Amino acid sequence: MSSSGLGGLNKSPNGIVVGLVQLQNPDVSTPAQLAAQAQRIAELVGKARRNNPAMDLVVFPEYALHGLSMSTDDAIMCRLDGPEVAAFKAACVEHRIWGCFSIMEHNPEGNPYNSGLIIDDRGEVQLFYRKLHPWVPVEPWEPGDLGVPVCTGPKGAILSLVICHDGMFPEMAREAAYKGAEIIIRTAGYTAPIRHAWRVTNQSNAFQNLAQTASVCLCGTDGTFDSMGEGMFCDFDGTVLVEGSHRPDEIIACEMRPDLVREARIHWGVENNIYQLGHRGYVAVKGGASDCPYTFMQDMVRRAYRLPWEADVRVTDGTSCGFPPPERHYKR
């Protein structure tokens, strides 16, 4: 099993050091505030590099740029070719480090997307993702349309990004791992009531997929909402390697070992669950059963997903949180 390598102070040849920034929860409502927050994030990229010369990747939480206002004001929405992303790219190049960032993305066809991107140390976007599962009924974002992408990161590690509520769905981490992800990054803006669920899902997402997870929330208050920080790294057996505190702007670090993930995925027999999902009972039948016995999967493919209690569900739009009922249907 791996250890944290004392946050990368004892970096192994096969390790990559990841830093999680428990960013102070910002209050952003104007273009000027947006520009100032983008600059602050760029400066914290430099802090991460100075803080830990061995760091390979620095991760900022969801809402790091926009805060928790849930504003869909187009004046503060971002574009991939806009100045905020350009500032992030420049910071990664200047400080020779990979970065993971959050933006609320302009969408000419409807509500904005809640998007994340991973930028390499040459300033190139290696992964771009739109949140598949907005935190309904609180969040107004358009459901993502890019699936669950992965990319090759530092030292050849296969990375994926899921955002906040995404991590509550075991299918999300499973999809990331099925595509090869060895380190599943989860960025969030969660507040204290979600603390227990945050912890157990970060651990279960790791164990169920023989993956390592690196997860971080915003931290501190914006004067209205209190975010919890609590960055955490989990090993592929679900063990917590490193945990953060509730201190805003603290950067916690851990050496991740994707080489040990690969070893476990190849050599584990007992509890190699992501393999065994598609090879049921291989002791009894050659190669195991590879059918799909799960009704919910079959129904989703047919776009016929329906719960036995579907007709009784009371919260099915955002009106309880002040949003008007939507009139558009999802198009894909």
Amino acid 4: pLDDT? 73
Q: Which residues pair with 25 in a beta bridge?
A: none
Amino acid 2: pLDDT? 55
Mean pLDDT of the region 83-94? 98
- The domains found in the chain, sorted by start residue, are 5-276 (3.60.110.10)
Residue 5: is its pLDDT beyond 80? Answer: no
Of the candidates 203, 217, 206, 270, the residue with the CA atom closest to the CA atom of residue 61: 217
Residue 225: is its pLDDT beyond 90? Answer: no
Cα–Cα distance measured from residue 43 to residue 287, given in angstroms and rounded to the nearest whole number: 53
Residue 131 appears among annotated catalytic residues: yes
In the chain, what percentage of residues exceed pLDDT 70?
99
Phi, psi angle pair for 231, to nearest 5°: -60, 150
Q: Which residues pair with 185 in a beta bridge?
A: 161, 214
Q: Of how many residues is the chain composed? A: 332
Amino acid 1: pLDDT? 47
Of the candidates 234, 176, 179, the residue with the CA atom closest to the CA atom of residue 207: 234
What residue type is assigned to position 155 of the chain? Answer: K
The residue annotated as part of the active site, out of 78, 151, 164, 217, is 164
Residue 115: is its pLDDT beyond 90? Answer: yes
The residue annotated as part of the active site, out of 131, 182, 219, 234, is 131
Strands in 106-249 per DSSP E: 113-119, 125-130, 150-152, 158-163, 183-188, 212-217, 219-221, 226-228, 232-234, 240-243
The residue annotated as part of the active site, out of 62, 105, 139, 255, is 62
Of the candidates 141, 132, 122, the residue with the CA atom closest to the CA atom of residue 66: 141
Amino acid 8: pLDDT? 74
